[in-house]
Chain A
Amino acid sequence: MPRMTMIEAIRDAHVVAMERDENVVVFGEDVGYFGGVFRCTQGLQEKFGKDRCFDSPINEAGIVGTAIGMAAYGLRPCVEIQFADYVYPAYDQIVSEAARIRHRSAGDFTCPLTVRMPTGGGIFGGQTHSQSPEALFTHVSGLKVVMPSNPHDAKGLLIASIEDENPVIFLEPKRLYNGPFDGHHDKPIIPWSKHPLGEVPAGHYTVPLGKAVVRREGSAVTVLAYGTMVYVAEAAAEESGVDAEVIDLRTLHPLDLETIVASVKKTGRCVIVHEATLTSGFGAELAALVQEHCFYHLEAPIRRVAGWDTPYPHAQEWTYFPGPARLAAALTDVMEG
């Protein structure tokens, strides 16, 4: 099986989707000739022509707004926002328009649109290249929200998103584009070419939206993670010596509640970890659900480990977002508590 970086897997997903369906069009800032600043769309314009892959003006509202119009015509646009931090000008188009078109037209119009964006920190990108806005989208009815943690899932989830009949927010942890990190800030990343999850099947396959996966089996506590935090969770499990079960959510909305509930009922404990700011973060939703569905199985309060409630700091990002030490402390804590 070929091994790929996450960038290559995302590119491959585009190729597969565009070959199978001529309605798939791809555009965004620097996306056409150059192939995007992270090169996720490199070669698509050459292969499919400028009708199918092109550069857009720097106007995120325009990118998403025109994509909605294209979807209304019958195309399947997959657009790139250069960084998740720049999605806000398009927020109105996504939240007030894309998310509601099916509902408000009683299915007369639909919006099969995918909005991709690099997300998260760990690359010294400062406050405008590092944010994790997933909770701003999971709160919106009508959207699906996806965040892969490895090349295999990235390709399968992206094809599924493009083929999905609904608007999908596809968040790509840029920290994982070239290789997973070991959970620690001071060690080099492992290349995907040496990592089992760098194995990406050729051709068409999908990873279904709404299905989580158990990344590490354990019996003492369930860790709910997604994106970069999956690696932090694995590292924290090793570091703490706590027999943690790590679940990679993959899709935040719709959420795979079944897998979560089964795991927490088994372990009796739950720790949630995300990079985004704590207050009203997606962890709050997860904690509420676990409490609702597993209350009588819980042996300790649910814990959340997250980014601090501050803007994202450039120089101190490794203090800002959770590392294995903070998560390991929480794991030890729930075992004692």
Chain B
Amino acid sequence: MAETAPLRLNVPEPEVRPGGKPDFSNVKIPKAGTVDRPPVDVAPADIRDMAYSIIRVLNRKGEAVGPWSGTLTPEEALSGLRDMMRVRAFDRRMLMAQRQGKTSFYMQCLGEEAIACAFRKAMEDGDMNFPTYRQQGLLIAGGYPMVDMMNQIYSNTHDPIKGRQLPVMYSSKSHGFFTISGNLATQFVQAVGWAMASAIRHDTKIAAAWIGDGSTAESDFHAGLVFASTYKAPVVLNIVNNQWAISTFQGIARGGSGTFAARGHGFGIPSLRVDGNDYLAVHAVAKWATERARKNLGPVLVEYVTYRAAAHSTSDDPSAYRPKEETDAWPLGDPVERLKNHLVAVGAWSPERHKQAEAEIDAEVLAAQKQAESYGTLHSGPKASPRDIFEDVYDTMPPNLRRQRQEAGY
């Protein structure tokens, strides 16, 4: 009988840990402009290689190059830059507000601003996003008032969802933003269902599903893929690969598959990877994917290659699990800087105007914050009525809740 060596368990590990030298040599980055742009009705099997490459538009010199460039005018790109700057300024202020005890919790999207901001601009009114907690850019780029976002974060008397949800768990049907759940991945398959409904009703609206790299491990992600594939649902399935899920590196969720995008292959879903720190590339791919979905050609899976530059949340300390210098070593740069450099290079912007815009946006965010705080914060100022706890559990309040509300004194 042949001798069999003992089995061993494989537990993937990131390249480096705190104290080590950051190493992204495993992230293979093609030159900007080198990945083909297939027609939107391409057969999924013909673009299998796109799940392993990275679509990029902005090169090191800030030029927009290749077949995916040119979906935006300089004015549109400039408005995109402002959206990203707004998101960043908003995050900075709200992080500070959390540190000052004005709210319980906050989550930034530092380094990932391009993804939600650019994607939003490729959508149409009436389309629906099923976001996670890191897509505040969808709201800001979609013109949702920052003060309402802050009211939610402060759980104050003007909070649109009445203090019921954790900060950043926004909800706005009118802005195409499905109510956020803290339970990871549950929204992914719901997005597919929304898109199926649009098809059932012969509507023209499409849906977008959002998920993080870590959360793709959840069964709901796979349920989403199988339904989207079977019914050719008009949905764009977005995976934001920011390399980390709290302390756990992306290799734990990805396992043996080459990339997250490659997950789509088993389902016959066209699957692309894009430079998530390149606003122009994200916009171009979002346009392609939404157009394909809207033309009834079925779902598209997009993996955004990016990096979570800040802590996971205000409860997290990333220095415990990754080198401090890793953020700076991320090879795809900073989305705001890259778009800014591009706009300067084409003569549509200047460092002075950028500085000025920064100041304007800071003032705009500060004004919104002052207004929001006049309605109260989590721990001070006016409070929402405890009566709100009992409303909206059912469409009409059943007797047990009415009794309990009275017992509570409201």
Contacts and interface: CB of A to CB of B under 8 A. Distances in A.
B169 interface: yes
Contact of B219 (A33, A59, A125): A59
Given A30-B248, A57-B255, A308-B389, 8 more contacts: A50-B11, A54-B11, A59-B217, A59-B218, A89-B218, A125-B104, A308-B390, A315-B384
Q: Sort A-B residue pairs by CB-CB distance and give the 4 closest, nearest first.
A: A128-B182, A126-B166, A315-B163, A57-B217
Interface in A51-85: 51, 54-62, 85
A319 B11 contact: no
A32 B104 contact: no
Which size class do A's interface residues fall under? 35 or more
B245 A319 contact: no
Given A33-B247, A58-B217, A126-B166, A310 B182 contact: no
A127 B164 contact: yes
Interface in B357-410: 378, 383-384, 386, 388-390, 393, 400-401, 404-405, 408
Contacts of A310: 389-390, 393, 401
Interface string B223-249: 000000000000000000000011110
B184 interface: yes
A30 B247 contact: yes
Interface string A284-318: 00000000000000000000000011110111100
Nearest to A82: B246
A172 interface: no
Given A50-B9, A308-B408, A309-B404, A316 B163 contact: yes
Interface of B: 9, 11, 17, 104-105, 155, 159, 163-167, 169, 181-185, 214-215, 217-220, 245-248, 252-253, 255, 315-316, 320-321, 378, 383-384, 386, 388-390, 393, 400-401, 404-405, 408
Contacts of B255: 57
A30 B246 contact: yes
A37 B315 contact: yes
Nearest to B404: A308
Given A55-B11, A58-B218, A310-B389, A128 B378 contact: no
Contacts of B181: 128
A316 B246 contact: no
B239 to A, nearest CB: 13
Contacts of B183: 85-86, 88, 128
